[in-house]
């Protein structure tokens, strides 16, 4: 159990790093992990790598908006979603922009966690 928490924190660290540096995408780190997975699986469990990659991608998705808005260098997937935030940065309200993105990301994670039991009950009935 403690190894999965460690994997989560390592994934958050890698995702934060890739999210803060414009031009580096989380898929690059994922490809490196995938390429070295034969060696890594001899050292750690498959669950460790899964938790690491999922936490890395979530952290990257939440953090990548900060340099996109503050530097005005969006990636092609975030170009339309950062326009209102970039306008606020130009008005001198950059702290408010980062706070809004943080609260929105945290809220999305909470809603996902809350909805997970509902979907696990409803989806089998909807599927078949």
101: Cβ contacts below 8 Å, ≥ 6 apart:
62, 65, 66, 69, 85
User: What single DSSP character describes residue 82?
Assistant: S
pLDDT tens track for 42-99: 999 999 999 999 999 999 988 888 887 777 767 676 677 777 777 888 888 888 888 9
Q: What tokens appear for 112 in the block?
A: 């996902």
pLDDT band at 128; cut points 50, 70, 90: low
Domain boundaries, the chain: 2-127
- Arithmetic mean of pLDDT over the chain: 86
97: Cβ contacts below 8 Å, ≥ 6 apart:
69, 85, 88, 89
Query: Nearest CA to 28 among 18, 13, 17, 16?
Result: 18
Mean pLDDT lowest among 10-14, 98-102, 124-128: 124-128
């Amino acid at each position: 159990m403690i190894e999965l928490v460690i994997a989560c924190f390592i994934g958050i660290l890698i995702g934060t790093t890739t999210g803060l540096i414009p031009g580096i995408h989380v898929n690059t780190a994922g490809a490196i992990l995938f390429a070295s997975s034969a060696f890594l699986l001899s050292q750690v469990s498959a669950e460790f790598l899964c938790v690491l990659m999922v936490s890395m991608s979530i952290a990257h998705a939440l953090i990548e908006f900060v340099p996109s808005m503050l530097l005005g260098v969006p990636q092609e997937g975030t170009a339309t979603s950062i326009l209102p935030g970039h306008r606020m940065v130009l008005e001198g309200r950059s702290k408010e922009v980062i706070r809004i993105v943080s609260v929105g990301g945290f809220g999305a994670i909470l809603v996902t966690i809350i909805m997970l039991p509902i979907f696990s009950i409803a989806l089998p009935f909807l599927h078949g």
